[in-house]
Amino acid sequence: DGGITQSPKYLFRKEGQNVTLSCEQNLNHDAMYWYRQDPGQGLRLIYYSQIVNDFQKGDIAEGYSVSREKKESFPLTVTSAQKNPTAFYLCASSNFPVSYEQYFGPGTRLTVT
Amino acid sequence: AQSVTQLDSQVPVFEEAPVELRCNYSSSVSVYLFWYVQYPNQGLQLLLKYLSGSTLVKGINGFEAEFNKSQTSFHLRKPSVHISDTAEYFCAVSGVNNYGQNFVFGPGTRLSVLP
């Protein structure tokens, strides 16, 4: 089955620690995205990448970092500089410019205490 | 810049009743429009999309949406809802910017189907 996997589903960390969220896709999509979702709120774009070895900051990139060394992988690191990291994190990909819809992974819920 | 408005943050409706979830967008260029559904603690699932052609778009789970260019709207409808339709629904618009694809989501509408 083709799709997007995110691991783990739930992640717990102590304040001050960096943590990396995994996102892998086997859809052969060039474009990948990271979103943050807080309770009762919509999606806010953290970073996106349209091609390997290139990525751009989204609306709320401060305190986060990414890499895109392989087409199928787009890991997100939540650093200790992120003031309020507890949230639900969603990874997505699209086959832009062939098609425009985004496909989403199941999400990772990060809790930092 | 593109933006999406979903006027209703919450919509309660009784089972088997019809429902309409409203979405308005703003854009200075041609756009592509989408509706996604999110069940608790899950990712978003594509319900339907409008790219071009017929303004009435049919999607999964019996949902449909109508693109109205003059009113810049893309409202989602279902003639008879089920308890299982209880979820968060997001309208989204996509276009192209200097870097590549631009994708903007609305704030979401929580649909609660009551027995």
Alpha-carbon gap: B80 to the closest alpha carbon of chain A (Å): 25
Averaged confidence pLDDT in chain A: 93
pLDDT over 70 (residue A1): no
| Digit-coded pLDDT (tens) for A38-82 | 987 789 999 999 999 999 999 999 999 999 999 999 999 999 989
Q: Which residue is associated with the tokens 């507890």?
A: A86
Other CB atoms within a 10 A radius of the CB of residue A24 amount to 18
Q: Which residue of A has its CA nearest to B105?
A: A43
Rounded distance between C-alpha atoms, residue A76 and residue B75, angstroms:
34
Tokens representing residue A96 in the block: 């832009």
> What are the structure tokens assigned to A4, written together?
């997007």
> What does the alpha-carbon distance between residue B2 and residue B95 come to, in Å, rounded to a whole number?
8
Q: What is the pLDDT of residues A9-25, one digit of tens each?
A: 999 999 999 999 999 99
Local structure of A106: helix, strand or coil: coil
Q: Please answer whether residues B73 and B19 qualify as being in contact, where contact means their C-beta atoms are separated by less than 8 angstroms.
A: no
pLDDT score, position A61: 96
Contacts of A48 in chain B (CB under 8 A): 100
CB contact under 8 A, B32 and A100: yes
For residues A19 and A110, what is the distance between their CA atoms, to the nearest angstrom? 9
Q: Are A50 and A30 in contact (CB under 8 A)?
A: yes
What residue type is B42 in one-letter code?
A: Q
CA B51, B56, B59, B63 torsion: positive or negative? positive
Mean pLDDT of A96-108: 92
CB contact (8 A) between residue B101 and residue A41:
no
- Under-50 pLDDT residues of chain B: none
Query: What is the distance, to the nearest Å, from the Cα of residue A17 to the centroid of all Cα atoms in its chain?
Result: 18
